[in-house]
Amino acid sequence: MKKWLLFFLMVCPFAGWTQMRATPVAVYDTVELKVGDRVPEFVFRDTANREVTLKQFKGKYVVIDVWASWCYPCKQEYPTLKGFAEKYKDKKIEFVSLSCDTGEQRWRNELAWGKMSGHQWWIGGDESSMIAFRVVAIPRLILLDKKGRVLNLKLPKPSHPEFEKILEGLKGI
């Protein structure tokens, strides 16, 4: 019995039963951002597999929701975030859901199962943005100003009353 347990513990991680990544991920020279810093032009992938950047939202505030398919709290917060996106759809603010999943198929599966809509992007294997935004835990919400600078690196969750107060306090929204 002990031999089987030892065998199981040693072999399972290599059998693909864990979240471990087998291939290295590209990480470019990245500086951790702070409030007031301009966000570099990170390239992400949208649901049509096109390259997209945050630059397209110049002139609007941007709320970035960093999530992953395996993150239950992320999925739990999504309906509230989606409600805010609908409420503010005619305002100068955009909501981007950015998946930090290591595998594209996991991200795509969750989009289908979770019936997620709006700006759904994937990091595409480049974790530079995660380093720059100092993402060490998810869900993580980040707020950018109209010029693409960091306003808040750690917004409260959408279900927290403070989240909407912060949005309502944005000038020229």
* Domains present along the chain, CATH in parentheses: 32-168 (3.40.30.10)
pLDDT at residue 6 in the model: 41
Q: What is the mean pLDDT of residues 16-38?
A: 61
pTM of the model: 0.82
**Average pLDDT in the 14-19 region?**
38
Quote the pLDDT of residue 22.
Answer: 38
Residue 117: count other Cβ atoms within 10 Å of its Cβ.
13
Supply the Cα-derived Rg of the chain in whole angstroms: 18
The order of strands in the sheet holding 93-99 is 51-52, 44-46, 119-122, 93-99, 61-67, 140-144, 150-155
